Structure formats: C-alpha cells, structure tokens
C-alpha cells in the first residue's frame, strides 16, 4: 500500500492549506487585481492532470478520467501557457500546456491540450539519469513560443541541465547554471534569459545559458537570492543587502536596504503592482517596484513576522509574538500614517490560528482548537465585519487565471468545508465555494463521502474548473489520497475521479 505519513495534527492542518499559505511567488494572498471579463475562469480546452500514475480529466466528462501513464512516475511538473498582452503586461487564459515527468531515468512530456486523441507520453531528450534529479525542478513558461518553455534540474552529480519543451528524444539537454530568476522579453513574453549563480557571482545569461552570453551582475561572499520580481525589476538579496536589477539595461542599483535579522527560510515578500513589501525579523518594509528608491520601514513588531500578504488598502501579516500568533494589518504607509496596526485575529490558549489568504478588503482565517474542532472566519481589513462559522474550515482555493507580471497571482475562489466534526473528520460535511473578493457563497459543491476524512486543495490551481484531493486516514500516521473534480461556480459539481484504496493520487499543480 502506498501511503503518506502524518507525523502530527499540525502537519495535517498545514498540508490541508498548502495552497493558500504558500500561495504563488511567495505570497499568501493578494488584493483585488482588476475586473474579470466573461469566460476568464471557464477555460476547458485543457485536461486537468493528476499523478501517482498519470491520469487526465476532461472537465466536460470528469467521471471518466483517461489513463496517460500507468507506471510509477517522479518529478511530475506542469508548464503553463497563456496569452501575453505587452501593453497591459498581463498573461490571460493561463492553463497547463505540458506536463514533464521522470520514468526509468528518462524524461517524458505529455500535452495537456484536449484533442481528438488520448494524450500520449513522448520521450523528451536523450537524458538517461533523470532518476538522480535532486530537489524540485524549475519549470518556466515562454509565452511567445511554448516549445521554448524550459525545465531546469540539478543531478546528483552536481550538474545543472536545461531542456526545452520542443526537444525530441534525440536532443541532448543543455548545460545550465543554478537559476535565480528568469527574464522575459517585454515586447512579446518570450523567455529572454536568466540571472543565475556561477561560482561566487550572479551572472546574466541568454535563454540557452550560452557561456559567451554571460555578464557578471554582482559577486558575493556568502549568499545570493532573488526575493521578488516584476517583468522590469528583479530584487536580489546579496550578502544581506537588497538590490534591484533592471532587466532592460542590465544595471544593478546601489544598496536599497541592509538586513539586520537572521531569519531561517525564504524571505517573506509580496508585491501589489506598486511596491514590494518584505520582512526583516519584526520589521515590515516597503520598496518601490521601480527599484530606484530606498526601502522604507512601515511597521515594527517585537516578535517575528512569519507570513505576508495584502488587501486593497492594507498589508496583512502573521506575527509570532513569543509563541502567540496574531493576524494583523497596517496601512501601506504603515507607521508613517500614524495609524497603529489592527488585530484581525488572535490565537486563544491552545489554539492554532491559520491565515488562509486575502482579496479585496477581506482576510480569511481558520482556528483549530486543542481537540481539533474548527472554526472558519472572515474579517475586513479594518477589523470590521467579523464572521466566524463553527465546525467549518477553509480548505484552499483557486487563483485567477490572469497573471499580472507586476504583482502576485491573485486568488479568485476560496473553498470551505462546513458541518464537519473535526480537522480530521470531514465525513458528511459540505464543500462550498466562495467569491474571494466579496465573501459571498457561490455554490454547495457536494457532500464529502463517508470514506474521506479530509478534503481540499493541496496544489496550486486556477480557474473555476479544478481538481481537489480527498484523504482517507488509514492508520494513526498515514493516509491515502483520491482525486475529485469540481466546478466552483456550479452546485452539485463535486465528482469523484479516482477511488483507489491501495494507491494515492495527487493533483498535478499548475504552479510549482
């Protein structure tokens, strides 16, 4: 039996809300992001894919999945595509176009586009040691030509390699460098190059990592990382200093900020199309996305800020103050405005408080008591309009399928389990969808089956037609996962796709 370990109750909770706490591009949520046009989230020209073995779900017939790859696969990675608008600098109609995976040391690709035939795996390059890939590969779209989209990976021998979606079984992977951040051509959305680490230097390479194209951007003694980006600017943290790299002219700024705290893990940062907001221990800071001005401190806490997002008018953050967790907001001008932070939610004694995400003027959160009883809440950015529903739990959501290159990927829907017994007993409860901006319920999707203890979104998805997972606890510390389909705009659309008590299937995320 292929199962997954559950070490603690906290692990269960965090895996349930992995989409919303991790979000995309380092964000746990975002603001409104503009007006939708009809059809923005009804795209169904592509299959929705799941893994274990690989299967494809046609949203028009979700109860009859198609088997694509029956064998065991690894490193299953989606590469999305969309339509790039150079004036608005946005990508619309985002959907999975290709899935790349490892089997028997080789790389394969599958087109996710719906057509007359069943999706067929095709060998991708002559790679034979793909089973030694270390860590998570990078998958980067090319919006001008999907055949130039890339899959970059590190082998156990320490060699970085790059392949393109359009390569054949006889092509050889291209030697690469450790990628920091990709660079796009603003005129057409083509993948134009890379910032990458080469020894103790950050260098700009062309899209093929050609040695002759390398230009040194900066050198470092300890560490270099990309901490935020737009199509114009890539923010770099190099040896504890923040810089802005201009993708058009290749210039790097002077120091915009010097970090004082030593914080484990990735730098917490988010961007709203105007500023990037980031954290330095208990300090909350803002820097213009122009990359030409010094960062400004807009908040200060005695504890540590561990999560960051934004609403229309506020920055939302989660504070760990000596073990007590709080969700707070402050104005985007922060302490400069003279308005103190507003507490949106505070964990009670023995309670776990989870920030789910934000959109418009609303923030979403969950509470879990010491005995596993749940409460799902919403509250406005100014602290008004609190609404907490007992025996309910926000289990994830779906992002808007329009990507603004100047801000974060934006949530459009949230999903709530209602009428549940505890965090590990959803049986007989209802899954409901909500408009993320208004908090209005859109549909009752369906009832959680009696053999499913937990259900939710465990992978980055977008649009209204999505795949979810239902998890059956098989012993104290293991579970088996099945796949479900739902149209978040339609009541009664929850459909079971798989029912395999001996094998786990998982959704292939659109965003990696």
What average pLDDT score do residues 380-404 get? 96
Q: What is the pLDDT of residue 71?
A: 80
What average pLDDT score do residues 39-45 get? 52
Q: Note whether 124 and 145 are within 8 A (CB).
A: no
For residue 6, pLDDT beyond 70: no
Q: For a pLDDT cut of 70, what percent of the chain falls above it?
A: 89
Cα dist from 448 to 366, 423, 496, whole Å:
19, 13, 10
Q: What is the pLDDT of residue 34?
A: 34
Query: Would you tell me how many other CB atoms lie within 10 Å of the CB of residue 54?
Result: 24
Q: Note whether 376 and 27 are within 8 A (CB).
A: no
Cα dist from 390 to 281, 418, 434, 438, 454, whole Å:
33, 8, 17, 20, 17
For residue 33, pLDDT beyond 70: no
For residue 31, pLDDT beyond 80: no
| Pairwise CA distance, residues 459 & 509, whole Å | 5
For residue 24, pLDDT beyond 60: no
Q: Containing H/E element for 141?
A: none
pLDDT category at 1 given cuts 50, 70, 90 is: very low
pLDDT in tens, 398-434: 999 998 999 888 899 999 999 999 999 999 999 999 9
What average pLDDT score do residues 184-192 get? 97
pLDDT in tens, 82-130: 999 999 999 999 999 999 999 999 999 999 999 867 899 999 999 999 9
pLDDT in tens, 258-305: 999 876 556 789 999 999 999 998 999 999 999 999 999 999 999 999
Cα dist from 482 to 398, 467, 479, whole Å:
19, 10, 10
| Pairwise CA distance, residues 175 & 380, whole Å | 50
Q: What is the pLDDT of residue 337?
A: 57
Per the prediction, the chain carries an average pLDDT of: 89
pLDDT category at 492 given cuts 50, 70, 90 is: very high
Q: What is the pLDDT of residue 37?
A: 34
For residue 38, pLDDT beyond 60: no
**Helix ranges restricted to H, 276-404:** none
Q: What is the pLDDT of residue 263?
A: 62
pLDDT in tens, 446-461: 999 999 999 999 888 9
């Amino acid at each position: 039996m292929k199962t997954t370990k559950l070490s603690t109750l906290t692990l269960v909770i965090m895996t349930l809300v992995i989409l919303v706490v991790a979000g995309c591009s380092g964000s746990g949520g975002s603001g409104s992001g503009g007006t939708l046009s009809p059809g923005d989230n009804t795209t169904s020209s592509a299959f929705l894919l799941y893994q274990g073995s690989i299967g494809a779900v046609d949203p028009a017939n979700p109860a009859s999945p198609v088997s694509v790859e029956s064998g065991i696969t690894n490193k299953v990675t989606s590469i999305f595509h969309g339509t790039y608008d150079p004036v608005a600098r946005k990508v619309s109609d985002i959907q999975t176009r290709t899935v790349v995976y490892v089997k028997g040391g080789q790389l394969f690709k599958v087109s996710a586009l719906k057509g007359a035939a069943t999706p067929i795996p095709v060998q991708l390059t002559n790679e034979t040691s793909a089973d030694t890939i270390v860590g998570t590969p990078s998958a980067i779209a090319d919006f001008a030509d999907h055949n130039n989209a890339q899959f970059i990976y590190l082998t156990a021998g320490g060699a970085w390699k790059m392949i393109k979606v359009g390569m054949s079984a006889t092509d050889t992977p291209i030697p690469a460098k450790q990628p920091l951040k990709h660079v796009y051509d603003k005129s057409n959305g083509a993948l134009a190059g890379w910032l990458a680490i080469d020894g103790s230097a950050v260098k700009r390479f062309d899209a093929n990592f050609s040695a002759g194209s390398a230009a040194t951007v900066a050198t470092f003694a300890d560490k270099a990382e990309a901490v935020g980006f737009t199509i114009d600017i890539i923010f770099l943290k190099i040896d504890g200093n923040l810089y802005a790299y201009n993708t058009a002219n290749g210039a790097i700024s002077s120091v915009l900020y010097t970090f004082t705290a030593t914080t484990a893990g990735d730098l917490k940062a988010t961007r709203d199309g105007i500023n990037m907001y980031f954290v330095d221990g208990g300090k909350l800071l803002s820097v213009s996305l122009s990359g030409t001005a010094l960062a400004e401190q807009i908040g200060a806490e005695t504890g540590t800020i561990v999560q960051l997002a934004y609403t229309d008018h506020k920055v939302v953050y989660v504070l760990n103050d000596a073990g007590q967790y709080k969700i707070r907001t402050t104005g985007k001008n922060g302490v400069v405005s003279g308005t103190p932070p507003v507490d949106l939610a505070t964990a009670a004694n023995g309670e776990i408080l989870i920030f789910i995400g934000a959109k418009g003027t609303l923030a979403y959160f969950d509470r879990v008591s010491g005995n596993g009883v749940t409460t799902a809440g919403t509250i406005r950015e100014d602290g008004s309009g609190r609404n907490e529903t007992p025996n309910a739990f926000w289990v994830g959501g779906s992002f808007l399928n329009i990507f603004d290159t100047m801000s974060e990927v934006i949530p459009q829907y949230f999903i709530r389990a209602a009428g549940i017994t505890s965090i590990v007993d959803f049986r007989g409860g209802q899954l409901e969808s909500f408009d993320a901006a208004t908090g209005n319920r859109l549909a009752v999707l369906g009832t959680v089956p009696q053999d499913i203890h937990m259900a939710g979104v465990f992978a980055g998805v977008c649009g209204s037609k999505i795949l979810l997972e239902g998890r059956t606890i098989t012993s104290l510390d293991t579970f088996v996962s099945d796949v479900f389909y739902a149209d978040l705009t339609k009541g009664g659309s929850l459909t079971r796709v798989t029912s395999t008590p001996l094998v786990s299937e998982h959704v292939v995320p659109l965003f990696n």
